[in-house]
Amino acid sequence: MSRTSDPATPAQAHEPGGAASADLLARYGDALMTTFGTPARALVRGEGPYVWDAEGRRYLDLLGGIAVNALGHAHPRLVAAIADQAATLVHVSNLFTSRVQVDLAEKLDALVAGDSGLGARVFFANSGTEANEAAFKATRRTGRTKVIAMEGSFHGRTMGALSLTATEAYRAPFAPLVPDVTWVPFGDADALAAVMDDTVAAVVVEPIQGESGVVVPPDGWLARARELCTAHGALLWLDEVQTGVGRTGTWLAAEHDGVVPDLVTLAKGLGGGVPIGACVGLGAAGDLLQAGHHGSTFGGNPLACRAALEVIAVIEEDDLLAHVTATGDWLAAAIEGLGLPQISHVRGRGLLRGVVLTAPVAKDVHAKALADGFLINAPRPDVLRLAPPLIVTREQLEPFVAALPGWLGASA
């Protein structure tokens, strides 16, 4: 499933900072705002699950642009679809529509609604945080303002989405934010029930909290949230920006729990690297935003829609959902099978995995992995996050598993 002509083993350890990278990073520091700090590498090309830096060093991409590059890099079908659409129609504004926009809307509506029997409607945006802004505004159309969010959540950096994001360090510099948000512990059904009443507009939840370290709630918790929302006339809003589009082995992570939401937000893997977001409303929730209530200049443009249609087609035709499930289960078992005391366990589903360590050394391990040619990240001091392209194979993952003990100061 990988498309790469290079050998399957990443490059041996190299020190960063060759002439080409040094020049790019210096220019970056002069020209860009410092919101992301100093980039770890200057990357120049990719193919399959691999990327190369400005010095020609190769890395196995186990982060996938933070769960974005669903088909890896330079997938031939996605490249061809983008090129064809760019030569046809890139942008027309939402004063008009295009066939690919309508085709994608119908496809997403069907995938999200599943066999629920509910109708669905989509609003297209350009990112996950924008999709969440649209959903947040939809909740206000219920006539209620109270929203219940989860401790440990991440929903984006724009002002509305930030108001629902739990990390205080992200929120504090921009206070005051949107009021009337109540926080409860993620996965605590009793705590959620205690704050539910008929003034609640919505409960917003990630089925798996990616930025918090790939945290999975207890079995039955999401179904209980659905029951409580139904009982109190509140919307159940699922933020599937990171977990959706096959990342966990199903189109939506909520499918593992058999839960039908009212609102779903998608982005990241949907465009395979081309920016696109979507807010899908099911049943009556699909009619909450009416003419003039919201808008986007670039949302749903033909280029992004064509890319998303191709991503979905490849996932379907290459049976990637089954591949993601099997490969992710193998990866988790292989890591736990190392039997290292430095590893507590592996959590998550499909190809969204958190390697939970027994000491807060994740940043150190991340740095060693990068030096050895592997892209991962450390969302928490004791967690390594893995979100590789959905096309990655066991053979390509084996070198990572083999190298992990060395980074942890152990032997396999």
Please report how many Cα atoms fall inside a 13 Å half-sphere around the Cα of residue 129, on the Cβ side: 11
Residue 268 neighbours by CB under 8 Å, 6+ apart = 66, 67, 68, 128, 241, 242, 244, 245, 247
**Pairwise CA distance, residues 221 & 155, whole Å:** 20
How open is the CA angle 332-338-343, to the nearest 5 degrees? 75
**Pairwise CA distance, residues 409 & 412, whole Å:** 10
Helices (H), 196-319: 221-231, 302-317
Catalytic site residue from 61, 268, 372, 400: 268
From residue 337, give the alpha-carbon distance in Å to each of 114, 334, 343: 36, 5, 10
What type of residue sits at position 242?
Q
Ligand-binding annotation for 240, yes or no, is yes
Cβ burial 280-300 (10 Å sphere, 16+ → b, else e): bbbeebbebbeeeebebebbb
| Burial class of residue 277 (count of CB atoms within 10 Å of its CB; 0-12, 13-18, 19+) | buried
- Asked if 11 and 57 touch (Cβ cutoff 8 Å), the reply is yes
Catalytic site residue from 53, 61, 109, 239: 239
Ligand-binding annotation for 5, yes or no, is no
Q: Which of 4, 92, 86 is nearest to 45 (CA)?
A: 4
Catalytic site residue from 123, 154, 374, 400: 154
Can 154 be counted among the known catalytic residues? yes
**Pairwise CA distance, residues 293 & 198, whole Å:** 24
Ligand-binding annotation for 157, yes or no, is yes
Place of tokens 């969440």: 132
Helix (H) or strand (E) holding 113: helix 99-113
- Asked if 347 and 385 touch (Cβ cutoff 8 Å), the reply is no
Ligand-binding annotation for 241, yes or no, is yes
Ligand-binding annotation for 219, yes or no, is no
Rounded to the nearest 10°, the torsion over CA 160, 163, 167, 168 is 130
Ligand-binding annotation for 214, yes or no, is no
Can 239 be counted among the known catalytic residues? yes
Ligand-binding annotation for 264, yes or no, is no
Can 268 be counted among the known catalytic residues? yes
Ligand-binding annotation for 129, yes or no, is yes
Greatest CA separation for the chain:
62
Ligand-binding annotation for 329, yes or no, is no
Residue positions annotated with a catalytic role: 154, 239, 268
Residue ranges at the known binding site for pyridoxal 5'-phosphate: 128-129, 154, 239-242, 297
Residue ranges at the known binding site: 128-129, 154, 157, 239-242, 296-297
